[in-house]
Amino acid sequence: MKTFNKLPEPENIQELIQSTFQIDFPLAGSWGYDEKNATIINELPSNMPLLQLQHTVTSIRAHLEMNITQNEEDRYGGINANEKSREQIKKDDAIYDKVSYEITAIKEDRYNAFIKEYKEGYEQKGFNLNEHFQRRKEATLVREVTHYFEVSHAN
């Protein structure tokens, strides 16, 4: 099973996400690998529910781990995060959401080839859609991750 390095603790997670992804979230803390390094949600952006914000931040972390920080030949594409479970933990004066996600991805070069094959083959005679998606499934890396969010101030 392929493993990915944890991201280094950012000086300012909000600025890093803003400069890399052009998204401004009211965050502090770190990448949420454990309670001590939780991603702190200071408040909810307007029109964004907590679960959506958490999913987006986890997706950002996965893209950084699996694509942006990798050498070109080791990059993954088609990265998706799906929530599997969550639990709320109260410790001292803090409230944490411990959320488990299943992350799926395909090596970027293979992913791009699958997308090209699909676009060129869809609705063409002889293109076997079931076989295409079976090969994509077989090429997909599946990993389980946990992300800790400190949500004491998220309203």
pLDDT digits (tens, 9 = 90+) for 38-55: 999 999 988 899 999 999
Show the domain range for 64. 13-107+141-150
Q: What are phi and psi of 135, to 5 degrees?
A: -65, -35
Q: What is the pTM of this model?
A: 0.92
- Report yes or no on 119 lying in a domain: no
Q: Is 6 contained in some domain?
A: no
Rounded to the nearest angstrom, the gap between the alpha carbon of residue 143 and the centroid of all alpha carbons in its chain is: 11
The pLDDT of residue 2 is 79
The number of folded domains in the chain is 1
